Amino acid sequence: MQVKQRITYGLIGLLLLLVAACAPAGEQTPSPGALEPGAAGTPSPAAEETAGGQTPAAGKDPLAGSEWLLVSFAEAGTETPVIEGSTLTLAFEAGGQAVGEGGCNSFGASYALEGDSLSFEPVTSTLIACEDEDVMQQETDYFAALGEVSRYESSDDQLTLLAGDQPVLRFERP
């Protein structure tokens, strides 16, 4: 085999490995009898740890499975509403993952929850530029505000994320 062919095949193999490493893992369903944590087809407890090293016990994460629509920045009465026509979302998934839309880009981040304390790891997002500079700035502010969050307050239809005692983001159910 020629040197050029070896290099080409090596680069193709490397590219395939990188694509496979970046692809999301498919959901696994446990096989009958595989009820023990860590058994074939079930995640081990270590695989369920959140960004803060916590392992949320089943049913103990009140945010998991919830979806929210951002309605304003800061506290009621002095809030800045979301720019009309833009949609900013936040969804909490099991296992300490948060995902959403920032107005221009989709994003993801790990979160850690203990009592009413909440923190997010740095947000990772797609890198699509907005046509509207104001919406792009709003997205930047949204991602920065998520990084400041230290706790939350919620009711059936509202979620407020706070930095200390200061509300920074207010959401409603979609």
For residue 85, is it within any domain?
yes
What does the pLDDT read at residue 78? 84
Q: Which domain holds residue 92?
A: 48-172
**Predicted pLDDT of residue 18:** 41
Instruction: Output b/e per residue, 15-34; b: 16+ Cβ within 10 A.
Output: eeeeeeeeeeeeeeeeeeee
Q: What is the DSSP letter of 58?
A: T
Q: Decide if 108 is inside a domain.
A: yes
Whole-model pTM over 0.85: no
Q: What is the pLDDT of residue 19?
A: 40
Domain annotation covers residue 29: no
Q: How many domains does the chain have?
A: 1
What does pLDDT average to in each consecutive run of 10 residues of the chain (174 residues)? 48 43 43 35 36 47 96 85 97 96 98 96 95 96 97 95 95 97
- DSSP-derived secondary structure letter, 123: P
Q: Would residue 121 count as lying in a domain?
A: yes
What integer pLDDT is reported at residue 125 of this predicted model?
A: 97
Asked whether residue 37 is assigned to any structural domain, the reply reads no
Provide the pLDDT for residue 156. Answer: 85
Residue 53 falls inside a structural domain: yes
The full DSSP string for 60-88 is --TTTT-EEEEEEESSTTS-EEPPTT---
Query: What's the pLDDT at 77?
Result: 72
